[in-house]
């Protein structure tokens, strides 16, 4: 077993660094609610909120129905149908939310997965209700479908979003985190601990590690953080003396999960034994897959005659899902172009008053499959900006092939404001409408950038570029080249309509609090 850096002392099956004698400040707030039992308390809050929203939406629909039908007598003497139907809708809806596991431990706080399950549960519940009402010939009950579905669906998503915001704030403060023991080879354990430390939103706090010296290490990727076995993240974390004591350590450390990073020695046999050892402890067994940039919906588990098979869907870049994405683009861009007319006029006036030159800036960019198009933007630079580019090359601060200068002298006063709040990008809704771009997608590259793409980077061109995307909502020009490529490739292979809606919503927040826009 690898020796741990620094001096240490052995307590039971654990080797603890002396630094652990004094507890970390975030550990001081550990209680049963904030550690082992926080899932149960959080799910209870979601359950109460869901019940209130479902009941409220159903009652609102019943009130609208009575008002539209003029059933004033029903309000004073309810009939069986006016009582049975709302109760049926409420119970069916709540059962659907439970059956779709919208409050499962591995879903709460995740975001798109939680919202998707909530909407799927709502749609399924009302499909069943609509069939039942049709069979019962309850024609006047259509108001429940017209009012309750949109009202309840929106409120459910809003409540889940608000609860998620609250949960993220608690996790950033070191609370509502699941206690985890990380198991794997030295470098894989170091990588997993560092990644968890960088992302409190993941919901874990590492309270122990078990290093398997015989494990098959996973190769690092270009975007990996420090993977050395002696990384500082491990210095203050208790280390198990051996892998055989994981289950005992789980009880001692009150761990909620055991995270296996990479492959263990003896591979399946060791992992199977670990699962058996954890029976009765209440801890989850979590496998940290390094399968590059594959999202959950593309992974499917199928056991065949005792042979566990993990299916990975191959990305498709045509078909009905892309037709649906195009329909969304057309509808969204059409509405945006109409609603933003006052903004377009105001920005055009400001640019005209700021100095000479055209209002719009047209630049050739590469779209899907490398096809070029003329992308529209509001002009933010002086008219001869392109001619002055060569003299500023030495000041380039951009990532990779992207040329960027934080204080570019070519940017006008109005242009700096437009760039800060991304208002210069708004004319691209026209590019979306005519089919050159999508609302959400990878960043549209210049021809010179696309010409320099090598290997996997060229996969950015497999779908249409987007007006917004993961790059725009995760730091924009502050990101390194490798991270921007990773985000774009992840989107290309794992996009979904629900994910697009989440990105659009997060883009609105970036407009208010811009980051990396210059």
State the pLDDT at residue 228. Answer: 47
- Gap between the Cα atoms of 325 and 498, Å rounded: 10
- Gap between the Cα atoms of 181 and 193, Å rounded: 10
The DSSP symbol for 267 reads H
Asked if the model's pLDDT at residue 449 lies above 90, the reply is no
Q: Which of 502, 290, 333 is CA-nearest to residue 433?
A: 333
State the pLDDT at residue 35. Answer: 44
Q: Which of 54, 56, 82, 88 is CA-nearest to residue 140?
A: 82
Q: Which residue has the higher pLDDT, 42 or 399?
A: 42
State the pLDDT at residue 219. Answer: 53
- Gap between the Cα atoms of 379 and 360, Å rounded: 5
Of the chain, the percentage scoring pLDDT greater than 70 comes to 73
- Gap between the Cα atoms of 155 and 359, Å rounded: 41
Asked if the model's pLDDT at residue 258 lies above 70, the reply is yes
Give the phi and the psi of residue 359 in degrees, each rounded to 5: -80, -40
User: How does 476-490 read in b/e, with b if 16+ C-beta sit within 10 Å?
Assistant: bbebeeebbbbbbbb
State the pLDDT at residue 317. Answer: 74
**What residue spans of 33-111 are helical by DSSP H?**
38-69, 72-76, 80-99
In order, the DSSP letters of 294-307 are --GGGEEEEEETTE
Q: CB-based contacts of 359: which residues, under 8 Å, 6+ apart?
A: 348, 351, 352, 378, 379
State the pLDDT at residue 270. Answer: 75
- Gap between the Cα atoms of 205 and 17, Å rounded: 17
Structure token digits, residue 514: 């811009």
Model confidence band, residue 186 (pLDDT cutoffs 50, 70, 90): confident
State the pLDDT at residue 328. Answer: 94
Asked if the model's pLDDT at residue 56 lies above 90, the reply is yes
Mean pLDDT throughout 303-312? Answer: 61
Under DSSP, is residue 183 helix (H, G, I), strand (E, B) or coil? strand
What sign has the CA pseudo-torsion 134, 138, 140, 146?
Answer: negative
State the pLDDT at residue 99. Answer: 93
Helices 320-339 and 497-512, interaxial angle, to 10°?
Answer: 30
Domain with CATH 3.40.50.1980 in the chain: 8-17+177-290
User: How does 272-284 read in b/e, with b if 16+ C-beta sit within 10 Å?
Assistant: ebbeebbeebebe
Q: Poorest-confidence range of 6-10, 128-132, 312-316, 476-480?
A: 6-10
pLDDT winner (highest mean) among 122-131, 247-256, 449-458: 122-131
The pLDDT mean for the chain works out to 77
Give the phi and the psi of residue 243 in degrees, each rounded to 5: -70, -25
Q: Which of 502, 494, 499, 100 is CA-nearest to residue 299?
A: 494
Structure token digits, residue 9: 């002392």
Q: Which of 501, 490, 497, 494 is CA-nearest to residue 317?
A: 494
Q: Poorest-confidence range of 109-113, 188-192, 487-491, 502-506?
A: 109-113
Q: Poorest-confidence range of 49-63, 88-102, 379-393?
A: 379-393
Q: Which of 464, 449, 462 is CA-nearest to residue 500?
A: 464
Q: Which residue has the higher pLDDT, 30 or 314?
A: 314
Asked if the model's pLDDT at residue 346 lies above 90, the reply is yes
State the pLDDT at residue 261. Answer: 81
Mean pLDDT throughout 253-277? Answer: 78
* Neighbouring-strand partners of residue 381: 411
- Gap between the Cα atoms of 473 and 490, Å rounded: 14
Contact 231, 6 (CB under 8 A): no
Q: Determine whether domain 8-17+177-290 maps to CATH 3.60.10.10.
A: no
Contact 322, 139 (CB under 8 A): no
Asked if the model's pLDDT at residue 428 lies above 90, the reply is yes
Helices 267-277 and 246-253, interaxial angle, to 10°?
Answer: 40
Total residues belonging to the chain: 518
Q: Is the pTM of this model over 0.85?
A: no
Helices 80-99 and 38-69, interaxial angle, to 10°?
Answer: 150
The DSSP symbol for 263 reads B
Under DSSP, is residue 470 helix (H, G, I), strand (E, B) or coil? helix
Mean pLDDT throughout 139-151? Answer: 80
Mean pLDDT throughout 141-145? Answer: 77
Q: Which residue has the higher pLDDT, 179 or 79?
A: 179
Q: How far apart are the first and last CA of the chain?
A: 49
Interval 204-214: pLDDT, tens: 888 888 887 66
- Gap between the Cα atoms of 511 and 429, Å rounded: 16
Model confidence band, residue 176 (pLDDT cutoffs 50, 70, 90): confident
Asked if the model's pLDDT at residue 226 lies above 50, the reply is no
State the pLDDT at residue 510. Answer: 76
State the pLDDT at residue 435. Answer: 93
The DSSP symbol for 12 reads T
Q: Which of 126, 107, 207 is CA-nearest to residue 167?
A: 107
Q: Poorest-confidence range of 236-245, 445-454, 460-469?
A: 236-245
Interval 392-415: pLDDT, tens: 665 665 555 566 666 777 888 898
Model confidence band, residue 342 (pLDDT cutoffs 50, 70, 90): very high
Q: Poorest-confidence range of 57-61, 191-195, 377-381?
A: 191-195
Mean pLDDT throughout 90-119? Answer: 87
Mean pLDDT throughout 196-200? Answer: 76
Which element (helix H / strand E) includes 353? helix 341-354
């Amino acid at each position: 077993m690898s020796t741990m850096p620094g001096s240490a002392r052995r307590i039971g099956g654990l080797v603890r660094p002396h630094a652990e004698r004094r507890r970390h400040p975030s550990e001081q707030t550990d209680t049963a609610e904030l550690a082992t039992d926080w899932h149960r308390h959080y799910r209870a809050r979601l359950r109460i909120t869901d019940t209130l929203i479902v009941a409220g939406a159903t009652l609102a629909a019943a009130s609208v129905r009575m008002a539209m039908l003029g059933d004033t007598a029903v309000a004073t003497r309810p009939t069986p149908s006016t009582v049975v139907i709302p109760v049926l809708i409420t119970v069916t809806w709540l059962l659907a939310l439970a059956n779709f596991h919208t409050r499962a431990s591995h879903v709460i706080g995740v975001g798109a997965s939680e919202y998707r399950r909530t909407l799927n549960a709502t749609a399924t519940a009302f499909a069943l209700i609509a069939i039942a009402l049709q069979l019962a010939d309850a024609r006047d009950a259509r108001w429940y479908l017209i009012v309750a579905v949109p009202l309840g669906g929106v409120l459910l998503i809003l409540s889940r979003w608000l609860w998620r915001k609250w949960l993220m704030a608690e996790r950033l403060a070191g609370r509502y985190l699941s206690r985890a023991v990380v198991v794997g080879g030295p470098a894989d354990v170091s990588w997993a601990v560092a990644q968890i430390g960088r992302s409190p939103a993941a919901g874990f706090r590492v309270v122990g590690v078990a290093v398997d010296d015989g494990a098959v290490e996973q190769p690092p990727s270009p975007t990996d953080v420090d993977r050395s076995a002696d990384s500082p993240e491990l210095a203050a974390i208790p280390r198990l003396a051996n892998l055989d004591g994981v289950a005992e350590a789980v009880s001692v450390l009150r761990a909620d999960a055991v995270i296996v990073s990479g492959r263990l020695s003896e591979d399946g046999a060791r992992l199977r034994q670990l699962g058996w050892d954890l029976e009765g402890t209440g801890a989850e067994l979590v496998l940290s897959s390094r399968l590059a940039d594959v999202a959950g919906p593309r992974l499917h588990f199928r056991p065949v005659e005792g042979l566990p098979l993990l299916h990975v869907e191959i990305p498709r870049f045509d078909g009905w899902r892309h037709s649906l994405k195009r329909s969304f683009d057309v509808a969204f861009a059409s509405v945006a172009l109409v609603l933003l007319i006052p903004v377009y006029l105001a920005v055009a006036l400001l640019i005209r008053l700021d100095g000479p030159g055209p209002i719009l800036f047209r630049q050739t960019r590469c779209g899907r499959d490398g096809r070029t198009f003329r992308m529209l933007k509001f002009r933010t630079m002086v008219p001869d900006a392109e001619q002055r580019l060569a003299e500023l090359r030495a000041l380039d601060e951009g990532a990779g092939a992207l040329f960027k200068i934080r204080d570019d002298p070519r940017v006008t006063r109005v242009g700096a404001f437009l760039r800060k709040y991304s208002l210069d990008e708004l004319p691209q809704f026209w590019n979306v409408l005519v089919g050159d771009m999508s609302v959400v997608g990878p960043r549209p590259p210049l021809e010179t950038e696309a010409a320099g793409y090598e290997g996997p980077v060229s996969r950015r061109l497999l779908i249409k570029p987007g007006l917004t995307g993961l790059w725009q909502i995760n730091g924009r020009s502050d990101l390194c080249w490798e991270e921007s490529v990773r985000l774009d490739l992840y989107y290309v292979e794992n996009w979904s309509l629900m994910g697009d809606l989440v990105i659009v919503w997060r883009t609105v927040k970036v407009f208010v609090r811009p980051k990396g826009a210059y």
